[in-house]
Amino acid sequence: MTQPIERVVIVGAGTMGVTLAKLMLAHRIPVRMIDNQAAALEACRREIERTFSDNHPTVGELEVQAHWSQEGEGSIVIESVTENLAIKRAVIAEAEANCAATTLIVTNTSGLSIDAIGQGMRHPERLAGAHFFNPADLIPAVEVIPGAATTQATIHRTCAFLSLLGKRPAVLKQSVPGFVANRIQHAIMRECLSLLEKGVVDVEALDEIVQFSIGVRLALNGPLLQRDLNGLDTHLNIARYLYEDLEDTHTPSRLLEEYVAKGRLGAKAGRGFYPWDEVHIKRQELEARGNLEHIIAIAMNDKRS
């Protein structure tokens, strides 16, 4: 970094904002959390207190507030509000109005255009996408996305900041809808939903096949390295007969629309692909973090050796 980080300003105290705050505080970086919902700020404060013990000095380094304060050049702003272009643009405009001209501003959008988010900025050269994954304090990868006006210096600053946080930043050459991870996640889910709709397989069998085949392999190697190991000629032979049969719809699946319309939203609603109850959800929550930490440690170790 060109200068020490005085503070990280996180805008949006939702699912991602809270885990971003945990990440900064664990690295002893003071956080100013801004949200226009008092309840979200209160929930954030409670979660941070629960995570770090009361007498941990880190808790004192979290400020929560509904409005902006003037920020100096030592601050970094992370925009992590609702995934809505108009809301994000308004937040970026507020950030510019309250920060020095050189303050680094990153957006945690899941796939909106960086140029569209930065439209109207006085200094769009200091805006970049930094797409974290949930929970941001745990998942190593962060997609770094330039807009058309983003300078190389901004990309370097963003990557240096992320490396300081122990992340593995990976830079895209341009902003495309959904970036890399969500494009691939949605391509996989489009095919999964199509297989369910066609009655080829049931929910349990599909999860079993994907988790214990490509799932466990992908925890250790990216898909391209994996294909190198398998042989590109074999991949091409399969691609030649398979692609004409793969799902290529341009609209969300009928099954997904139907589930959401019926309120089958997943664990939080008691039913998604599976039925959920409190005990089941609690067990998942308790086990998920430890299991993820374990897998990440194995994957990182594998990349070092």
Ligand X SMILES: NC(=O)c1ccc[n+]([C@@H]2O[C@H](COP(=O)([O-])OP(=O)(O)OC[C@H]3O[C@@H](n4cnc5c(N)ncnc54)[C@H](O)[C@@H]3O)[C@@H](O)[C@H]2O)c1
Pick out the residues of the known binding site for NAD(+). Answer: 12-17, 35, 83, 88, 110, 134, 268
Give the residue with the Cβ less far from ligand X, 132 or 161: 132
Q: Choose which of 10, 35, 104, 253 interacts with ligand X (CB under 6 A).
A: 35
Nearer to ligand X, 181 or 195 (CB): 181
- C-beta closer to ligand X: residue 110 or 158: 110
Q: Does 175 bind ligand X (CB under 6 A)?
A: no
Name all contacts of 161-169 with Cβ < 8 Å and 24+ positions apart: 161/1, 161/5, 161/76, 161/104, 162/130, 164/1, 164/5, 164/27, 165/23, 165/24, 165/27, 166/27, 166/140, 167/132, 167/140, 167/141, 167/142, 168/140, 168/141, 168/142, 169/130, 169/142, 169/144
- Binding of residue 36 to ligand X (CB under 6 A): yes
Q: Does 17 bind ligand X (CB under 6 A)?
A: yes
Q: Which residues of 88-100 are buried (b: 16+ CB within 10 A; e: fewer)?
A: bbebbebbbebbe
Selected catalytic residue, list 71, 96, 125, 143: 143
- Residues with Cβ within 8 Å of residue 18, at least 6 apart in sequence: 43, 44, 47, 48
> How many residues at the interface with ligand X, by CB under 6 A?
26
Peptide bond into 57 cis (omega under 30): no
Shortest distance (Å) from residue 41 CB to ligand X: 8
143 is catalytic: yes
Whole-number minimum distance, CB 84 to ligand X, in Å? 8
Residues 85-144 that bind ligand X (CB under 6 A): 87, 90-91, 108-110, 131-134
| Tokens 């489009």, located at residue | 190
- Indicate whether 9 belongs to the interface with ligand X (CB under 6 A): no
Closest CA to 218 of 275, 299, 156, 283: 299
Q: Is 66 in contact with 33 (CB distance < 8 Å)?
A: no
Of 201 and 260, which CB lies nearer to ligand X in the complex structure?
260
Residue 13 binds ligand X (CB under 6 A): yes
Q: If binding is defined by CB under 6 A, does position 77 make contact with ligand X?
A: no
Contact residues: ligand X, CB under 6 A = 11-17, 34-37, 40, 80-83, 87, 90-91, 108-110, 131-134
Q: Indicate which residues carry an active-site annotation.
A: 143
